[in-house]
Structure 1
């Protein structure tokens, strides 16, 4: 075991990215993720790497496009409205198959919303907030340590699949302080970046980074190629946690990030009163862990309760996984309100008493 250090989530993200070999960071300040950019501003120039505070989020994501096209590891970070401004660039990155890491520390919305934590960017992240048929790989950490580990994993996965990867945590994850260990990692085998725009370097033709296909046949072929890659990601990169699902449950929560931690507290409360609850915690929001539901569908008496800091976004994917075989309900707080264990537990008792219908 290495030495643990107490760090704020946002600063731990920056340190993890540096240790993962991030060479360039482009960003713009917005609460509650500003400390990511501030940390990178302090550290990156000292170690000979590039930090640029762009004039806007739109500029920042296009700088990411340029750096990623040259084959270097690059990251940007923002919070909900800023991520909205980056959506065109994210579609371009996916279309041009450029590996990159995007951090979203989510705040309340819609619109300017507020600076308190929320999970209401789920649709934007996993359904594609930009244009076209594309996907981001989306990680949802539930602790500062997991956030650190996922940042390092995100860079590898981005390189392996030539795809942008988002690490999405709510504002509480970014602002909380927890002990973290920066573990030595062997890393995954990575492909050589023979596609990068780095000059001829002995090649007969320049590499060209592009997502423009004027001929519809070519554009369709490119989309089919991307979809084949996404199916491969779905086969290989799904991650989730099953908590307390080893035996028959009265009800099973589905929650990620901060709300998953709260649900674990509710599980302990319920256990003292003889109510058995479980938890499916998606770690990848896309690809969504459909297989987890097949493992537990017969273990829940009253179905699933999707607990979210939103008005009900992930619950749609939970319902698709349940396919009508078990009831699916939703409990959410929004606008920056964080659900308490008591109010979640009260909802559980209502569902059990009413047959979860």
Structure 2
């Protein structure tokens, strides 16, 4: 019988990736996810698998692109400025329909900012930081165990839809230690999986690329990508609603949702009707589920560790069904449960 083990978030996500059948990791150190790279530097070679510390984040993501194009199960991890450098190749991968898992342990920004936990990369992850029409699946775990589970399954989802999948955490999640139940280890996943590049000998040559110059070809391809993401939204959207009887509905993701859940629990113990709606997939965003939940609320509060990014998606989902208020905490800092509780009490008058 498996027992829970105490692990730091970065290392737990890395171990979940190894157990998911990871064939190769390509990365570059940056705080606050350095434990991830350090963990991989030992455990991947120990299992006879590829580990490369690239000369930069740009090099790392292009190595991911190349290795993933062969059908191997590969990944990278970084933090906010590093992920920004990867955007060009991520756009290429989306255009070429190449699956991989990318972990972003967010830090404060813009620019180099600081190394504190932040949620300032929401727009970058959900809107596509590179060029063109594309979207990725983006998971936003709020506990180390959830990060393990989502990462482990993210590789299967990426392969199923041939799409990059993001795990969007932050410095708090990466650095905290919690007991986790680790999944079973899968065989290493390498080879072309029926679509990857493995040479042209004995069959028609083909390419995995994002360049489409023939008239009408790119238009058709982009509509195909959009249709695929509609199927993804129908099948893969995840969320959590903590209660069904509430006056104030708090919407938050990741670490902010973790803090908000504590505030909601404390308020309900005081007889105040509050609930938490937490998107687990922030892309695809659970618009329909939040729209239904908002119909029961007198007011909606959006709490984010930024100046207001998920706020736009919440307003789109709510569509005027209830007034929407916002509280932000940017700059690599987080709320306390008491701050969120005080805001909810203020909203109740």
Give the TM-score normalised by structure 2.
0.96
Q: Partner residue of 1:307?
A: 303
Does the residue aligned with 1:115 lie in a helix, a strand or coil? Answer: coil
Cα deviations by residue, 1:185-216 (Å, 9 ceiling, x for unpaired)? 899xxxx832211113632x123111101124
Residues 141, 147 of structure 2: 8 Å contact kept: yes
Deviation at 1:184, TM superposition (A): 3.4
Cα deviations by residue, 1:240-297 (Å, 9 ceiling, x for unpaired)? 11112x22x1200101111111111111221232211001110001000112223312
2:77 equivalent to 1:81: no
Deviates more, 1:31-40 or 1:270-279: 270-279
Separation (CA, whole Å) in 1 of partners of 2:109 and 2:215: 37
Deviation at 1:305, TM superposition (A): 0.6
Q: Partner residue of 1:209?
A: 208
Does the residue aligned with 2:313 lie in a helix, a strand or coil? Answer: helix
Deviates more, 1:263-272 or 1:147-156: 263-272
2:321 equivalent to 1:325: yes
> How many residues end up aligned between the 2 structures?
345
5+ residue gaps, structure 2: none
Structure-to-structure mapping, 1:1-357, within 5 angstroms: 2-184=2-184, 193-200=193-200, 202-203=202-203, 205-244=204-243, 246-247=244-245, 249-301=246-298, 303-353=299-349
Does the residue aligned with 2:199 lie in a helix, a strand or coil? Answer: coil
1:335/1:216 CA distance change after superposition, 3 Å: farther
Separation (CA, whole Å) in 1 of partners of 2:186 and 2:323: 43
Separation (CA, whole Å) in 2 of partners of 1:67 and 1:338: 37
Deviation at 1:167, TM superposition (A): 0.2
Cα deviations by residue, 1:12-43 (Å, 9 ceiling, x for unpaired)? 11110110011000000000011111100011
Does the residue aligned with 2:72 lie in a helix, a strand or coil? Answer: coil
Q: Which has the higher contact order (CA 8 A, sep 6+)?
A: 2
Separation (CA, whole Å) in 1 of partners of 2:234 and 2:267: 35
Separation (CA, whole Å) in 1 of partners of 2:311 and 2:291: 16
Cα deviations by residue, 1:140-167 (Å, 9 ceiling, x for unpaired)? 0111111010111110000000000000
Residues 295, 321 of structure 2: 8 Å contact kept: no
Separation (CA, whole Å) in 2 of partners of 1:202 and 1:17: 34
Deviation at 1:58, TM superposition (A): 0.4
Cα deviations by residue, 1:40-88 (Å, 9 ceiling, x for unpaired)? 0011111110000000000000000000000000000000000000000
Separation (CA, whole Å) in 2 of partners of 1:271 and 1:284: 26
Residues 242, 292 of structure 1: 8 Å contact kept: no
Separation (CA, whole Å) in 2 of partners of 1:105 and 1:216: 40
Separation (CA, whole Å) in 2 of partners of 1:221 and 1:291: 28
Deviation at 1:11, TM superposition (A): 0.5
Separation (CA, whole Å) in 2 of partners of 1:133 and 1:322: 25
Separation (CA, whole Å) in 1 of partners of 2:211 and 2:175: 40
Runs of 4+ in 1 over 2 A off after TM superposition: 183-187
Residues 115, 336 of structure 1: 8 Å contact kept: yes
Separation (CA, whole Å) in 2 of partners of 1:241 and 1:38: 33
